[in-house]
């Protein structure tokens, strides 16, 4: 019978090991993990900081005994694989409670070692009250430290999803929380206009936000007890803390593979579409590998639990002869969502900024429809931004933020993207509708309608970031705000005239607008602007509509 050895017993490793058992009852399956737990839910760790998940042990989904009883898998914890001997087909394992290393033979080896928290090499980072937050022991260290020292303040370095989730849960736990983010906005996968409402939400909840903030060092506590007491930023600002958490990203664990002579590039271990490394008897999955991005075909690292689990399963399928051409790995699109207090932000595919940086020149539209029928209580707008390829309309990226219904739209768009659908295809999607859940024209359909008009050049739009009031004034462009006078009075673009859309035909007939000058129209979210655009276009004006409306400007587009 086959001997399968798995290195790393969490997301990818356990998916591989349990699938292997389901495919072959006789195989010998052995899993090594250098940590004290296997089969735990890293994704739940931030929620255990506040007690949303009250018991740390509920993060442990399966114990070594459980794996043995249900799957007949031998799980060794506190056992680090230190070497792979490819010629002898053995791994060397050092268990913490044993003096000598042992050799274990394999026929197929699966590496699922994950990625480790990157700790920037600045002075003071080794202080005893600076933590990372990736494992259950690290979670327990943070919680114990807070309790033992009655901590009142925490500085979180990094505003990615781990940093944001930790910030929210520690704030709910009553701590003063600061987030230090190197980039101009938090949650870097999305564009700045999508991230902007997160900033307001964090501030509304009492979190101090330092953006464009470079950490220069960490200052030792005056008591000199091995602790630190403040982050020092490059502009001299000091952010004091009782405890700090470093969450600035992860690095794939590739040294074991590298030392064994497997092909590794800067994004991780190189694999084929069946998760085989450059040695076909050695597979690698999860955060340590690099996969082609489904949209761009370029190599990209995606550190997410879903891909790790699917890849682990695929490796087992390949080993036992169950993999087919249809099961070959198709690459990732990085679908993810993050809760930030009352808001949810999500993305599938790539942001407009990333697409532009790659030179892909996408078209995109932003819509703000309600998450469900506006007349049914508790409807809230979703900001939905969808990017697509000029010419073909192929979907390239979808980002959304709002109070409700974001995850659903992101998942629909993620599915559409993986089905190689176009912006026009979104207009055809038949989605579940009853007033509490959606609208007859779902936000995804709406993005499709607006986007397919742009694709077909039936409507010309200008994006909030492209609006340059001075340049428009120099050209004599007329800016027409077609909202109601009360909306106009609460804030409007400089130089705009207010002609509510219902009055627009009469105003044009009365000669209020100069047909020889260009017009920019806008409303609050884009829809009335589009109606005004149509009226003016039919009357012979050279007109553009502001994509996403005034809301896109006021939210920082």
Site residues, ligand FAD (CB under 6 A): 7-8, 10-13, 32-35, 42-43, 45-46, 80-81, 112-114, 133-134, 162, 253, 256, 286-288, 303-306, 308
Rg (CA), the chain: 27
Count CA within 13 A, CB hemisphere, residue 357. 7
Compute the least distance from the CB of residue 156 to ligand FAD, in Å: 12
**Among residues 111 and 480, whose Cβ is nearest to ligand FAD?**
111
Q: Which residues fall within 8 angstroms of residue 300, CB to CB, at 6 or more apart? A: 267, 290, 291, 292, 293, 332, 334
Q: What's the CA gap between 346 and 380, in Å, rounded?
A: 16
Rounded Cα–Cα distance for residues 443 and 527 (Å): 12
Say which residues have a Cβ less than 8 Å from residue 184's Cβ, sequence separation at least 6.
192, 211, 212
Q: For the chain, what is the total number of helices (H) and then of strands (E)?
A: 15, 32
Pairing relation of β-strands 382-388 and 395-402?
Answer: antiparallel
68, two tokens: 């043995």
Give the pair of three-digit tokens for residue 104.
Answer: 């274990």
CB of 336 to ligand FAD, least distance (A): 6
Query: Rounded to an integer, what is the distance from CA 398 to the centroid of its chain?
Result: 11
Pick the closer one to ligand FAD by CB: 7 or 400: 7
Query: Phi and psi of 486, rounded to 5°?
Result: -70, -35
Q: Which residue is nearest to ligand FAD (CB)?
A: 286
Q: How far is the CB of 315 from ligand FAD (least distance, A)?
A: 11
CB of 67 to ligand FAD, least distance (A): 14
C-alpha span between 218 and 131 (Å, rounded): 13
Active site residue 43: yes
Smallest distance from ligand FAD to CB 261, Å: 16
DSSP state for residue 340 in the 8-state scheme: E
CA 182 → CA 213, 245, 532, distances in Å?
5, 15, 41
Minimum CB–partner distance for residue 527 and ligand FAD (Å): 34
User: In whole angstroms, how close is the CB of 81 to ligand FAD at the nearest point?
Assistant: 4
Which tokens hold the place of 215? 């950490």
Q: Which is nearer to ligand FAD, 246 or 521 (CB)?
A: 246
Residues 177, 180, 182: CA angle, nearest 5 degrees: 165
Residues designated as active site: 43
């Amino acid at each position: 019978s086959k001997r399968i050895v798995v290195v790393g017993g969490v997301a990818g490793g356990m998916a591989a090991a349990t699938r292997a058992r389901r495919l072959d009852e006789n195989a010998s399956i052995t899993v090594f993990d250098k940590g004290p737990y296997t089969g735990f839910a890293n994704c739940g760790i931030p929620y255990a900081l506040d007690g949303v998940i009250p018991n740390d042990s509920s993060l442990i989904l399966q114990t070594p005994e459980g794996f043995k009883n249900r799957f007949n898998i031998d799980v060794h914890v506190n056992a680090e694989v230190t070497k792979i001997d490819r010629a002898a087909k053995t791994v060397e394992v050092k268990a913490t409670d044993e003096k000598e290393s042992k050799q274990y033979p394999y026929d197929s080896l699966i590496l699922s070692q994950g990625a480790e928290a990157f700790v920037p090499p600045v002075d003071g980072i080794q202080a005893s009250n600076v933590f990372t937050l990736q494992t259950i022991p690290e979670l327990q260290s943070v919680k114990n430290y807070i309790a033992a020292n009655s901590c009142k303040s925490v500085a979180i370095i990094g505003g990615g999803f781990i940093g944001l989730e930790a910030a929210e849960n520690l704030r709910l736990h009553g701590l003063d929380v600061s987030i230090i983010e190197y980039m101009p906005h938090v949650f870097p996968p999305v564009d700045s206009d999508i991230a902007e409402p997160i900033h307001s939400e964090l501030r509304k909840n009492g979190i101090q936000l330092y953006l464009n903030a470079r950490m220069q060092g960490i200052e030792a506590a005056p008591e000199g007890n091995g602790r630190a007491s403040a982050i020092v930023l490059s502009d001299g600002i000091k952010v004091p803390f009782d405890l700090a958490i470093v969450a600035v990203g992860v690095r794939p664990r590739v040294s074991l593979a590298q030392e064994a002579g497997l092909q590794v590039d800067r994004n991780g271990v190189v694999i084929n579409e069946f998760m085989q490394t450059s040695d076909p008897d050695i597979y690698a999955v999860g955060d340590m590998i690099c996969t082609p991005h489904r949209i761009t075909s370029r190599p990209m690292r995606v550190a997410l639990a879903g891909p790790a689990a699917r890849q682990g399963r695929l490796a087992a399928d390949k080993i036992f002869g169950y993999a087919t051409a249809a099961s070959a790995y198709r690459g990732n699109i990085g679908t993810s969502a993050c809760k930030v207090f009352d808001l949810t932000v999500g993305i599938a595919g790539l942001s407009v900024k990333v697409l532009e940086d790659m030179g892909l020149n996408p078209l995109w539209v932003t819509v703000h429809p309600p998450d469900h029928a506006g007349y049914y209580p508790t409807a809230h707008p979703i900001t939905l931004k969808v990017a697509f390829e000029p010419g073909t309309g192929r979907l390239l990226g979808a980002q959304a933020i709002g109070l409700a219904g974001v995850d659903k739209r992101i998942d629909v768009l993620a599915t559409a993207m993986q089905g190689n659908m176009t912006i026009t295809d979104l207009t055809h999607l038949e989605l579940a509708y009853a007033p509490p859940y959606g609208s007859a024209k779902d936000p995804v359909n709406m993005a499709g309608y607006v986007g397919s008009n742009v694709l077909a050049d039936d409507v010309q739009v200008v994006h909030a970031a492209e609006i340059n009031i001075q340049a428009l004034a120099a050209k004599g462009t007329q800016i027409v705000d077609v909202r109601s006078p009360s909306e106009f009075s609460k804030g409007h673009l400089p130089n705009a005239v207010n002609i509510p859309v219902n009055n627009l035909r009469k105003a044009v007939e009365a000669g209020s607008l100069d047909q020889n000058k260009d017009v920019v129209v806008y409303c609050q979210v884009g829809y009335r602007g589009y109606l005004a655009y149509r009226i003016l276009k039919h009357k012979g004006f050279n007109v553009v509509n502001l994509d996403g409306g005034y809301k896109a400007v006021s939210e920082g587009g």
